[in-house]
Structure 1
Amino acid sequence: MLLLPYAIKFSFYVCFQAIAVYFNLYYLIPRFLEKSRFTLYITYLLITVLCTASLIVTGYYLGAFISGKSFEAIYGPGTYCLYYFYSNALPSTLASTTLAMSIKLTKNWIQTKRRQQLLEKEKLETELNFLKDQFNPHFLFNTINSIFFLIHKNPDKASVSLAKFSELLRYQLYECNDRQIPLINELLYLENAVELQKLRLDNHIKVNFQVSQAHTAQLGIAPFILMTLMENAFKHVSKHPDQPNWITITLHIHQDQLDFYVGNSTSYDTFTPMTPYKGIGLKNVQRRLDLLYPEKYELEVECQQNSYEVKLRLQLSELVDTQIKQPQPEIIYK
């Protein structure tokens, strides 16, 4: 019979504090705190804590009433009054409510951070896919125009260009869907693209394409990063009848550092410093570099009266799976 008052008191603590905790977590917080109604939330929370403490205090009196004993007989000598019981019930209720609220808010914060990270990752993937999809039609449009030009000028060259064009399409469709591809594949693609571009050029435009090191099997690169810079050179090269017209493309690899240079002669009458920026090409490359290689690249653009030069320095990383899907032919750089 002596344990009955303690059992009643304990049950009042557990039941009413649990009700207060759930009422705070699933009603007050979503309805007021999460909607930034802080004054109302604090007011209702204090009322909830006070009411809960009052209900718990009744457990002391109910236990003494049912057992038929005085507080001194149950709890020992002391001064037992309403203030004494509140001094126990109120801090305990406030502590349990605060602890549960802290756990809940911490859990919500962690879930929110994870959701934000997932959304940022999805946004990044979406933006990268959009930028890559934006490039492909840009390249295809220019290439189809070149082949159309060759059909009327030189059908034999047009046939060769169609064969190379099919190889480029195969590369785009099947070999460059990952965020990183083997660098050797990108170089092969770049060489084919240069040869395709050369088919439509006049003989008085000199093209110099050099790669200082071809042993790149362990390194990876984002697809189409180098391609756009090369394409701009062919797009804006000068066509002087009595002056040198040239395009120079060099690529040097030292360990994991790639140095890529593209330069071309320009016509001052038709070329302005803003010309290369009118299309999506260079802006596309800069945006993709910002997303894929933050603080790991340097891009310099130098525009002069008779030349336009782009220098890219890029820190590459090794591929997790460096195996090339298909055997690659030997690259012959000209």
Structure 2
Amino acid sequence: MDKGVLCILEQEGIPMALQNLSSFFAVLWRFKLHHVLFWAVYHLAWWSLYAGSLVEVLGYFDEAHGVVKYLGYVVYQAVGVYFCLYVLIPKFLQKGRYFLFFTSVIGVVLFMSVGITFNYYLASLLTDKTVYELFNVFPETPVTLFKHNALPSCVGAITLGMSIKLTKIWIDTQKRQKALEKEKLETELKFLKSQFNPHFLFNTINSIFVLIDKNPEMASESLVKFSNLLRYQLYECNANQIPLKNELAYIKSLLELESLRQNENFDLQIDWPDTISEEYSIAPFILIPFIENSFKHISEDRKLKKWIQLRIQVKEGSLIFHLANSANFELRHELPKGVSYGGLGLKNVKRRLAIIYPESHNLVVSKEEDSYVVHLDLKLKKEEQVQLKKAVG
């Protein structure tokens, strides 16, 4: 029954039990042709197996009593099975009321069996023979019809119908679960990415602010680079995967911007391919937190030599990212307890790697004698794979 009709019944004060019953008969009324054909063929097949010959069974349809017997099985079992599927399962089984569900199913099976048993007698009224003579039943008692004919058939029909329904419910549940998990992961990825953006903004704005008084020309140059980075971040990398060459170009601009505020004691060494194939893509900003951390954790003592070494290679569809930076651990020991390399940015990127590249990356962050080292092996995705995923899903 349509939801609008149920709402009207509820507003009119119609009891819920009657609404469920009305809904049940509405479902029966909307039976599709393939449902009718299924039950017709199902009982014809079982009757043929019981009789041993399809030709013999078809001969029964020449007589009225054969049609009545056949329709009794079809109608009683169809009504009983669909009552279990559309009333008992949602009302009891799916709500965890298992005792009521199983007792109700037993009651439905008994009702179906009794109805079919009496239908044998109804069929015999159309002939001059007794039900026992007509259907070769021995011993001549209703218990024989109930026990050997009606009950096994009803149990089989209920078992088949509920098996199909429960399998369908399980498949639908798995689909919904996967959809929810996908939605959850996408939401979490967006949240992790949004956490990175303020982190980057605060660091860069603070650097430019320091340069305004000390070196206005350098501050102006930094603002130009900063605007380009923001443009890239806001408009060019909203997809789940972007071309690898674009991400590396972003990293290059970031390195140049961060290097502007360093003194003469700073040394930056970069080793990466001159050209990057356009077929490879990567999740945006997946490498940026490592770059930020390297600048964040180089020695604060301006008299000490500071350095950052970055090496990027692309081999056989994998990205090899190796980053090392100097560190003064004596100063680090003076920091408040609990402060460590990475902070929120590193935690986020680890989580993003686990979500986007499960079992296809290897990240090692280590503390050497006078430096921090990050080594990441990442299996890259190709553009055609990304486009195919978009088309499919």
Structure-1-length-normalised TM-score? 0.90
Q: How does 1:308-319 map to 2 (within 5 A)?
A: 308-319=372-383
- Give the alignment of 1:176-187 within 5 angstroms: 176-187=237-248
Q: CA deviation at 1:11?
A: 2.3
Any idea what the Cα deviations from partners look like across 1:146-196, whole Å, max 9, x if unmatched? 111111211111111111111111111111111111110001000000000
* Structure 1 Cα separation of the partners of residues 62 and 134 of structure 2: 7
- Equivalent residue pairs, number: 323
What is the CA-CA distance between 1:75 and the residue it aligns to? Answer: 3.2
Match of 1:231 in 2: 292
1:108 aligns with 2:172: no
Instruction: Output the amino acid matched with 1:93.
Output: C
2:293–2:341: 8 Å Cα contact kept in structure 1?
Answer: no
1:6 aligned to which of 48, 59, 66: 66
**Does the 8 Å CA contact 2:310/2:324 hold for their aligned counterparts?**
yes
Match of 2:194 among 101, 108, 133: 133
The answer to whether the 8 A contact 1:219-1:322 is kept is: no
Name the aligned partner's letter for residue 310 of structure 2: I
Shift of 1:240: 3.2
Supply the distance in 1 between the matched residues of 2:236 and 2:242 (Cα, whole angstroms). 8
| Corresponding residue number in structure 1 for 2:354 | 290
Which residue number in structure 1 is paired with residue 282 of structure 2? 221
Over 3 Å counting, the alpha-carbon distance change for 1:2 and 1:214 in structure 2 is: closer
Shift of 1:300: 1.1
Partner of 1:153: 214
Aligned-residue RMSD, C-alpha: 2.2
Quote how far apart the aligned CAs of 1:205 are.
Answer: 1.4
CA deviations 1:44-87 (Å, max 9, x no partner) are 21121111110111111122224343235533585432122111
- Distance in 1 (alpha carbons) for counterparts of 2:114 and 2:65: 17
Residue in 1 aligned with 2:90? 30
The offset of 1:110, in angstroms, is 0.7
Partner of 1:328: none
1:250 aligns with 2:311: yes
- Aligned counterpart for 1:47 among listed residues 107, 123, 129: 107
Q: Secondary structure of 1:34's match?
A: helix
User: Which structure has more helix as a fraction of its residues?
Assistant: 2
Mark the CA change 1:274 to 1:310 in structure 2 (over 3 Å): closer, same or farther.
Answer: farther
Q: Which amino acid aligns with 2:104?
A: Y
- Give, as a single letter, the amino acid of the residue that structure 1 aligns with 2:351: R
Residue by residue over 1:243-265, the C-alpha shift from the partner in whole angstroms, topping out at 9 and shown as x without a partner, is 32111111122231211111111
- Measured after TM superposition, the shift of residue 279 of structure 1 is 2.6
Q: Is the 8 A contact 1:277 1:283 kept in 2?
A: no
Pair 1:56-2:116 in alignment: yes
CA distance in 1, matches of 2:132, 2:296: 99
Query: How far apart in 1 are the matches of 2:373 and 2:338?
Result: 13
Tell whether the 8 Å contact from 1:299 to 1:310 is kept in structure 2 after alignment. yes
Higher relative contact order (CA 8 A, sep 6+): 1
1:268 and 1:306 in contact (8 A); partners too: yes
Residue aligned with 1:225, SS:
coil
> Contact 1:2/1:67 (CA < 8 Å) preserved in 2?
no
Aligned residue for 1:320, secondary structure, equals helix
Gap change, CA 1:68 and 1:125, over 3 Å in 2: same
Counterpart AA for 2:209: F
Verify the 8 A CA contact 1:252 1:258 in the aligned structure 2.
yes
Could you tell me how far apart the structure 2 residues matched to 1:298 and 1:274 are? 25
- 1:279 pairs with one of 343, 346, 364: 343
Q: Is the 8 A contact 2:271 2:311 kept in 1?
A: yes
Q: TM-score, normalised by structure 2?
A: 0.77
Aligned to 2:57: none
Distance 1:2 1:291, change over 3 A: closer
> Residue 122 of structure 1: CA displacement?
0.8
Are the counterparts in 2 of residues 179 and 223 from structure 1 also a CA contact under 8 Å?
Answer: yes
**Is the contact made by 1:182 and 1:322 (CA closer than 8 Å) also made in structure 2?**
no
SS at 2:358's partner residue?
coil
**Residue of structure 2 aligned with 1:95, choices 141, 150, 156:** 156
1:331 matched to which residue of 2?
none
